Structure 1
Protein backbone atom coordinates (compact mmCIF):
# COMPACT_ATOMS: atom_id res chain seq x y z
CA UNK A 1 0.00 0.00 0.00
CA UNK A 2 1.27 3.43 -0.87
CA UNK A 3 2.19 5.70 1.99
CA UNK A 4 0.31 8.51 0.26
CA UNK A 5 -2.98 6.63 0.56
CA UNK A 6 -2.25 5.95 4.21
CA UNK A 7 -1.81 9.68 4.82
CA UNK A 8 -5.04 10.46 2.97
CA UNK A 9 -6.94 7.82 4.96
CA UNK A 10 -5.49 9.02 8.23
CA UNK A 11 -6.38 12.61 7.41
CA UNK A 12 -9.95 11.70 6.49
CA UNK A 13 -10.35 9.54 9.59
CA UNK A 14 -8.98 12.23 11.87
CA UNK A 15 -11.18 14.84 10.21
CA UNK A 16 -14.33 12.75 10.59
CA UNK A 17 -13.50 12.00 14.24
CA UNK A 18 -12.98 15.70 14.91
CA UNK A 19 -16.22 16.68 13.18
CA UNK A 20 -18.12 14.03 15.15
CA UNK A 21 -16.64 15.17 18.45
CA UNK A 22 -17.39 18.82 17.72
CA UNK A 23 -20.97 17.96 16.76
CA UNK A 24 -21.43 15.96 19.97
CA UNK A 25 -20.07 18.74 22.18
CA UNK A 26 -22.26 21.25 20.33
CA UNK A 27 -25.37 19.17 20.98
CA UNK A 28 -24.30 18.75 24.60
CA UNK A 29 -23.85 22.49 25.08
CA UNK A 30 -27.21 23.19 23.44
CA UNK A 31 -28.95 20.81 25.82
CA UNK A 32 -27.17 22.28 28.83
CA UNK A 33 -28.13 25.82 27.82
CA UNK A 34 -31.75 24.79 27.35
CA UNK A 35 -31.79 23.03 30.71
CA UNK A 36 -30.25 26.00 32.49
CA UNK A 37 -32.70 28.39 30.84
CA UNK A 38 -35.66 26.28 31.97
CA UNK A 39 -34.37 25.66 35.48
CA UNK A 40 -31.74 28.23 36.52
CA UNK A 41 -31.34 26.86 40.05
CA UNK A 42 -29.98 23.58 38.62
CA UNK A 43 -27.30 25.41 36.62
CA UNK A 44 -24.41 24.21 38.78
CA UNK A 45 -25.32 20.54 38.52
CA UNK A 46 -25.96 20.87 34.80
CA UNK A 47 -22.57 22.55 34.30
CA UNK A 48 -20.70 19.79 36.15
CA UNK A 49 -22.48 17.08 34.18
CA UNK A 50 -21.80 18.92 30.92
CA UNK A 51 -18.07 19.24 31.66
CA UNK A 52 -17.77 15.54 32.48
CA UNK A 53 -19.65 14.55 29.32
CA UNK A 54 -17.59 16.93 27.17
CA UNK A 55 -14.38 15.44 28.58
CA UNK A 56 -15.60 11.95 27.69
CA UNK A 57 -16.48 13.04 24.15
CA UNK A 58 -13.05 14.65 23.73
CA UNK A 59 -11.38 11.51 25.08
CA UNK A 60 -13.17 9.32 22.57
CA UNK A 61 -12.27 11.77 19.80
CA UNK A 62 -8.58 11.72 20.70
CA UNK A 63 -8.68 7.92 20.90
CA UNK A 64 -10.30 7.71 17.45
CA UNK A 65 -7.64 10.00 15.98
CA UNK A 66 -4.88 7.94 17.61
CA UNK A 67 -6.32 4.66 16.28
CA UNK A 68 -6.74 6.19 12.82
CA UNK A 69 -3.07 7.14 12.61
CA UNK A 70 -1.95 3.83 14.13
CA UNK A 71 -3.93 1.83 11.56
CA UNK A 72 -2.38 3.92 8.81
CA UNK A 73 1.05 2.95 10.14
CA UNK A 74 2.04 6.49 10.99
CA UNK A 75 3.87 7.50 14.13
CA UNK A 76 2.66 10.36 16.27
Structure 2
Protein backbone atom coordinates (compact mmCIF):
# COMPACT_ATOMS: atom_id res chain seq x y z
CA UNK A 1 0.00 0.00 0.00
CA UNK A 2 2.81 2.43 -0.82
CA UNK A 3 3.92 4.42 -3.78
CA UNK A 4 7.42 3.59 -4.88
CA UNK A 5 9.19 6.03 -7.11
CA UNK A 6 10.08 4.30 -10.36
CA UNK A 7 13.76 4.87 -10.95
CA UNK A 8 15.29 2.76 -13.68
CA UNK A 9 18.78 3.59 -12.39
CA UNK A 10 18.03 2.28 -8.90
CA UNK A 11 16.78 -1.30 -8.78
CA UNK A 12 16.90 -1.17 -4.96
CA UNK A 13 14.41 1.71 -4.66
CA UNK A 14 13.09 1.87 -1.12
CA UNK A 15 9.55 2.46 -0.03
CA UNK A 16 9.17 6.01 1.24
CA UNK A 17 5.41 6.55 1.68
CA UNK A 18 3.30 4.47 4.07
CA UNK A 19 -0.48 4.78 3.97
CA UNK A 20 -2.93 4.16 6.81
CA UNK A 21 -6.67 4.30 7.41
CA UNK A 22 -9.81 2.42 6.44
CA UNK A 23 -8.65 -0.52 8.57
CA UNK A 24 -5.36 -1.01 6.70
CA UNK A 25 -1.84 0.20 7.28
CA UNK A 26 1.56 -0.13 5.67
CA UNK A 27 3.37 0.19 8.99
CA UNK A 28 3.25 -0.75 12.67
CA UNK A 29 4.47 0.35 16.11
CA UNK A 30 7.88 -1.28 15.66
CA UNK A 31 8.71 1.07 12.79
CA UNK A 32 9.41 4.23 14.84
CA UNK A 33 12.95 4.52 13.48
CA UNK A 34 11.54 4.63 9.96
CA UNK A 35 8.21 6.44 10.41
CA UNK A 36 8.80 8.52 13.52
CA UNK A 37 6.66 8.12 16.64
CA UNK A 38 3.52 9.73 15.24
CA UNK A 39 3.63 7.77 11.97
CA UNK A 40 4.27 4.45 13.69
CA UNK A 41 1.53 5.06 16.25
CA UNK A 42 -1.02 6.06 13.60
CA UNK A 43 -0.20 2.88 11.72
CA UNK A 44 -0.54 0.78 14.87
CA UNK A 45 -3.89 2.21 15.99
CA UNK A 46 -5.16 1.54 12.47
CA UNK A 47 -3.91 -2.05 12.75
CA UNK A 48 -5.74 -2.66 16.03
CA UNK A 49 -9.03 -1.45 14.55
CA UNK A 50 -9.45 2.08 15.88
CA UNK A 51 -10.99 4.26 13.15
CA UNK A 52 -8.37 6.63 11.72
CA UNK A 53 -8.91 9.06 8.83
CA UNK A 54 -7.04 8.13 5.66
CA UNK A 55 -3.51 9.47 5.63
CA UNK A 56 0.10 8.76 4.94
CA UNK A 57 3.51 9.05 6.53
CA UNK A 58 6.67 9.90 4.62
CA UNK A 59 9.66 7.97 5.93
CA UNK A 60 12.32 9.80 7.91
CA UNK A 61 14.89 8.70 5.34
CA UNK A 62 12.90 10.30 2.50
CA UNK A 63 12.50 13.53 4.49
CA UNK A 64 16.21 13.68 5.27
CA UNK A 65 17.08 13.09 1.61
CA UNK A 66 14.77 15.98 0.66
CA UNK A 67 16.36 18.40 3.13
CA UNK A 68 19.95 17.36 2.43
CA UNK A 69 19.41 17.98 -1.28
CA UNK A 70 18.21 21.57 -0.66
CA UNK A 71 14.54 20.72 -0.65
CA UNK A 72 13.96 22.72 2.49
CA UNK A 73 12.78 26.29 2.59
CA UNK A 74 15.74 28.29 1.36
CA UNK A 75 14.21 31.76 1.66
CA UNK A 76 14.79 33.26 5.11
CA UNK A 77 11.61 34.35 6.91
CA UNK A 78 12.96 37.89 7.20
CA UNK A 79 13.10 38.17 3.40
CA UNK A 80 9.56 36.85 3.05
CA UNK A 81 8.25 39.35 5.62
CA UNK A 82 10.13 42.21 3.97
CA UNK A 83 8.57 41.43 0.59
CA UNK A 84 5.00 41.83 1.87
TM-score bin, normalised by smaller chain: under 0.3
More helix as a share of residues = 1
TM-score (norm 1): 0.26
By relative contact order (CA 8 Å, sep 6+), the higher-ranking structure is 1
Structure with greater proportional strand content: 2
